[in-house]
Amino acid sequence: MELQGKAAIVTGGGVGVGRAVVLDLARRGVSVAVNYSRSAAEAEAVAAEAEKLGVRAVAVKADVGRDDQARALVEQASKAFGRLDILVNNAGVTRFIDHADLEKVGEEDWDFIFRTNVWGTFVCARAAAPALKKDGGGAIVNLSSVAGVYGTGSSIPYCASKAAINNMTVTLARALAPHVRVNAVAPGFVDTRWWSERDNKNAIQQLAAAASPLKKVCQPEDVSKVVVDLVTSDLITGQILVVDGGMGIRG
């Protein structure tokens, strides 16, 4: 896909990986709808940064875990830009619960995580599909995690939600072919605000780096580069690309 003149939605686009994706797309001439649910100031700031790069950008509030709001997000973005070519499903949530503490996991934890991570990914893809099929076809990239590949992460429900996204990526790739390609990126530890709010962030980062053959962890820009590569790679669909510094191959 040639990116110049295209239009995208990035969910959770105000911070972290989402912010990096917005700016990388903008640098390549893509107009972007920066979705947010709570981070209004950050989303507005990122949209302003994107516009300074010479594209159109809007910040759009929507809870992607609600079908009506996901559809409204797609409608607003399509009207703003007159087209929609790219959807990056980046919005995600978690709860930090020790895997061994099964009794601490409640029904509300499963509902909270799956509504945004899994249902939100699905309803955004469903809402965007008709627009993505126009103008020569489009691309969806879902943000997964090594939690869905290796079963390690902040909680069992979170790991399960990311595994579900991996499976959904393949099934959506079949369902939306040949007009829309669907892929996923599964990062390891990413140095973002999400982890900065944890008291043990530095210790976790050091452990993640030590477990990587490359001895470093992802920055948001590392993940964003792969997202953009998948958007532009016309013969890749239904794939989950792990970006973890080689953690999964360590001996």
What is the pLDDT at residue 193? 63
With respect to residue 206, please indicate whether it lies within any of the assigned structural domains.
no
What is the pLDDT at residue 65? 98
With respect to residue 211, please indicate whether it lies within any of the assigned structural domains.
no
What is the pLDDT at residue 197? 58
With respect to residue 32, please indicate whether it lies within any of the assigned structural domains.
yes
Low-confidence spans in the chain with pLDDT less than 70: 192-205, 207-209, 251
What is the pLDDT at residue 195? 56
Tell me which of 36, 114, 158, 189 is the catalytic residue. 158
Q: How many structural domains are present in the chain?
A: 1
CATH of the domain at 236: 3.40.50.720
What is the pLDDT at residue 249? 84
The first and second tokens of residue 146, run together, are 């090594």
Contact residues for 103 (Cβ-Cβ < 8 A; gap 6+) = none
189-216 pLDDT per residue, tens: 887 665 555 566 566 667 666 778 888 8
With respect to residue 197, please indicate whether it lies within any of the assigned structural domains.
no
CA distance 223 to 246: 14
CA distance 23 to 35: 13
Strands (E) in 188-237, as ranges, are none
Phi, psi (deg, nearest 5) at residue 181: -90, 145
CA distance 161 to 159: 5
What is the pLDDT at residue 251? 61
Phi, psi (deg, nearest 5) at residue 215: 60, 35
With respect to residue 82, please indicate whether it lies within any of the assigned structural domains.
yes
With respect to residue 158, please indicate whether it lies within any of the assigned structural domains.
yes
- Is 158 among the catalytic positions? yes
What is the pLDDT at residue 136? 87
Phi, psi (deg, nearest 5) at residue 25: -65, -40
